Chain A
Amino acid sequence: MKKVWAIIRKDIITELRTKELLTSMLTFSLLVTVIFSFAFGFSTGLVRLAIPAMLWITFTFAGVLGLSRSFALEKEGNAVLGLLLTPTDRSLIYFGKMISNAVFVFIVGLIIVPMFVLFFNLDFLGTLLPLIPVMFLGSLGFVSVGTLFSAMAVNTRLREVLLPILLFPIIIPLIVSAVKLSGLVLEGKPLSDGASALQLLVAFDIIFIAACAVVFEYVIEES
């Protein structure tokens, strides 16, 4: 537990000093939101239906941006070698990286939602509060696979380009259930109306955190 915490602390301190991850993810999501509003021509009727999908598209793209830096940073100056040399189980490295990624992605999600509330004139508390658990579960599932693939992608020829190609087909169940749940929230219905989607989301998180922690030791390596 202490070792996991050490990795999380290291990542958070790096981020607090450089601020490059959060800044780039947030700027990017702001731009995507603006592009979406222009693309829909400000016709509120049309936009309302598309908001859940837009929210998660923005989230996914911004998240990939952050994830692709996650292991690229470790590769710089071969810092990953230091991680590997620590006498610890490889899956602990996975949990450390995964949790710190989850923190960043979750923060970005928490900022995207109010941004959408603001731009698309939604009900503030009624939307924000029930979306927090959905955003949390979504972030968790997203980084569970994302961290694994990020470690893989930096070691391939295509580098960061490969990450979304690997990640997007896998996270389809996650996005589908998250969009479904967000849609319910925006219609003012309780989350319990989408019990099957919620179950799916939780199942996705559990299955992939477990599976990725097991296979992680095969993908991490020094360059």
Chain B
Amino acid sequence: MRKALAVITFVLMAASVYAAFVYAPTEPKMGHIQRIFYIHMGTVWVATAAFILVFVSSIMYLWKGTRKWDILAYCSAEIGVLFLTITILTGSIWAKPVWGTWWTWDPQLTTTFILWILYIVYLVLRSSAGSDAKKAKFAAVFGIIAFIDLPLVYASVRVMRGISPVVFGPGGGGIAPQMMHALLINLAACSLLFVLLLKERMDLERMGDELMALKTREG
């Protein structure tokens, strides 16, 4: 089961690289740099899904109190931060030639940046919170508060800058069908990679638990 998943993920990743670099046509205005958008969209999609998962499993953990929800929240947050880091990096690489700057404080970028910081803080909190059940509860509470904060952050950045139209995505509305295919393959590949990483990471966490239990039992 795991092997099959790993193989499929690998094949899809390879296909997505092919689709992004060879199959998809070159964007007329931006040129080759636009190809980075496929991985950019893929990772941001996974990060979003991961953080929603953190929110949901945090609520479930506070409600049910079972360790599996806590493991899910923790591992999901870790992978979410990893993917969002890739999103921000690829976005910057794209923005430098196209917008002429690595970074600008527009509502979308600012919100993403704060999102990234919030979940890094989540991980800091986890590593600092001491004993296990307490750590899990604190992290769950922060995971919920952080998620609630996001729409407010987005609204506040718009208030700060004056409301600006949202222009995002390659070429706006109409994109070539091959581009759409490449994008979909990338989304699928990133999603599978996320599932695979999450599964492995959660198993690792469970093994850690087992080891701890064994250690305390044996003294």
List A residues at the B interface (Cβ < 8 Å): 145, 148, 152, 155-158, 162, 165-166, 169-170, 172-174, 176-177, 180, 196-197, 200, 203-204, 207-208, 211-212, 215, 218-219, 221
B88 within 8 A of A: no
- By the criterion CB–CB under 8 Å, are B144 and A169 in contact? no
* Secondary structure of the B contact surface, majority rule: helix
Take A156-B130, A177-B159, A218-B140 as given contacts and tell me if A166 and B152 are in contact as well, using a CB distance cutoff of 8 Å.
no
- By the criterion CB–CB under 8 Å, are B159 and A156 in contact? no
Write the chain A residue with the least CB distance to B61. Answer: A218
* Secondary structure of the A contact surface, majority rule: helix
Take A211-B145, A215-B144 as given contacts and tell me if A166 and B125 are in contact as well, using a CB distance cutoff of 8 Å.
yes
Determine which of B125, B146, B159 lies in contact with A197 in the assembled complex, contact meaning CB atoms within 8 Å. Answer: B159
Q: List 4 A-B pairs, minimum CB-CB distance, nearest first.
A: A173-B156, A173-B152, A176-B156, A158-B128
Q: Classify chain B's interface size.
A: 20 to 34
Among residues 99 to 152 in chain B, which have CB atoms less than 8 Å away from a CB atom of chain A?
114, 117-118, 121, 124-125, 128-130, 134, 137-138, 140-142, 144-146, 148-149, 152
Bound Cα distance from A209 to B198, whole angstroms: 34
In the assembled complex, the CB of B126 is this many whole angstroms from the nearest CB of chain A, namely 10
Determine which of A155, A204, A212, A215 lies in contact with B152 in the assembled complex, contact meaning CB atoms within 8 Å. Answer: A204
Determine which of B114, B138, B148, B157 lies in contact with A152 in the assembled complex, contact meaning CB atoms within 8 Å. Answer: B138
- By the criterion CB–CB under 8 Å, are A170 and B146 in contact? yes
In the assembled complex, the CB of B30 is this many whole angstroms from the nearest CB of chain A, namely 32
Enumerate chain B residues within 8 angstroms of A155, measured Cβ to Cβ: 129-130, 134, 138
In the assembled complex, the CB of A197 is this many whole angstroms from the nearest CB of chain B, namely 5
Number of inter-chain CB pairs below 8 Å: 86
In the assembled complex, the CB of A196 is this many whole angstroms from the nearest CB of chain B, namely 5
Bound Cα distance from A221 to B135, whole angstroms: 12
Determine which of B62, B121, B128 lies in contact with A218 in the assembled complex, contact meaning CB atoms within 8 Å. Answer: B62
Write the chain B residue with the least CB distance to A152. Answer: B138
- By the criterion CB–CB under 8 Å, are B114 and A169 in contact? yes
B153 within 8 A of A: yes
Take A155-B134, A176-B159, A177-B159 as given contacts and tell me if A203 and B152 are in contact as well, using a CB distance cutoff of 8 Å.
yes
Write the chain A residue with the least CB distance to B118. Answer: A169
- By the criterion CB–CB under 8 Å, are A157 and B138 in contact? no
Bound Cα distance from A11 to B13, whole angstroms: 59
- By the criterion CB–CB under 8 Å, are A211 and B148 in contact? yes
Determine which of B117, B141, B146, B157 lies in contact with A219 in the assembled complex, contact meaning CB atoms within 8 Å. Answer: B141
